[in-house]
Amino acid sequence: MTTYKEIEAYYKDLEEAYNSKQESNRFNKDRSHNATIFRFMLDKSKEIYMFCGELSILRCGFKEHVVKDCGESDGEKIMKAMYDSFTRFLSDDGKKIHIILEKSASSDFVSDLVPKDFFMKALKRRQIELRALGDNLTSKEGLDHFTFTDTQIVRIEQNKIEHSAICTMNEVQYFNKIKTTFDNLNRFAVPVNCYND
């Protein structure tokens, strides 16, 4: 069971590695670490790029897993810290999140997002760009989910179920490869409409 104190130490370790300007790799083993890396990315960047399955990190089920895995008090603190960073990030009009979903989004895609109203407002303000790959694009199968920032923080998932991953910082070649992969996927992605105007 991961505690909030351990997660805060992990965040501090990420920060020290990032500030060193040296190439660094950090393993993350579960959803609480995933939430912390996402929080760190939100705190250290202006633009975030994600290739993911269904944006699970912002869903009720993800939060429930963190609370179950870390205990109610610590799990709630971990998730609150991430949601607070998410809110601060999108409160700045100069910041953006670009998301490509692995599959087409269903009509109720946003129904169980924890920060649903805030997400929808950011989507309408175009601070969140939401796109999806078509179901007929078979080359996406087997691609690991990843997130990266304009500040060269990269997280690549190794296990989509457990959310274990490697976070790499300050590694230009690795960053450029992931950015190229995202750009190539984006050419095949189509906009997702989650609201009715």
Contact 143, 116 (CB under 8 A): no
- Tell me, what's the pLDDT at 140? 62
| Calpha distance 30→61 (Å, rounded) | 14
Q: What is the pTM (predicted TM-score) of this model?
A: 0.93
CA distance 106 to 70: 31
Q: Which of 67, 69, 86, 85 is nearest to 77 (CA)?
A: 67
First-to-last alpha carbon distance for the chain, in angstroms, is: 45
pLDDT averaged over the chain?
Answer: 91
Say if residue 97's pLDDT is above 80: yes
- Count CB-CB contacts under 10 A for residue 155: 25
The crossing angle, in degrees rounded to 10, of helices 72-90 and 116-124 is: 20
24's tokens? 């660094």
What is the rounded CA–CA span in Å between residue 14 and residue 37? 8
Q: pLDDT band at residue 138, thresholds of 50, 70 and 90? A: low
pLDDT of residue 137: 67
Which of 109-123, 126-140, 143-157: highest mean pLDDT? Answer: 143-157
The partner residues of 96 in beta bridges, in order of sequence, read 47
Determine the average pLDDT of the residues in 103-127.
Answer: 84
Q: Give pLDDT tens digits for 19-49.
A: 999 999 999 889 999 999 999 999 999 999 9
CATH T-level fold of 4-191: Endonuclease; Chain A (3.30.870)
Q: How confident is the model at residue 18 (pLDDT cuts 50, 70, 90)?
A: very high
pLDDT at 96: 98
Kindly list the domain boundaries of the chain, sorted by start residue. Answer: 4-191
* Tokens linked to 90: 């999108």
Cα Rg, the chain, nearest whole Å: 16
**pLDDT-based confidence at 127, cuts 50/70/90?**
very high
Please state the rounded mean pLDDT for residues 98-105.
88
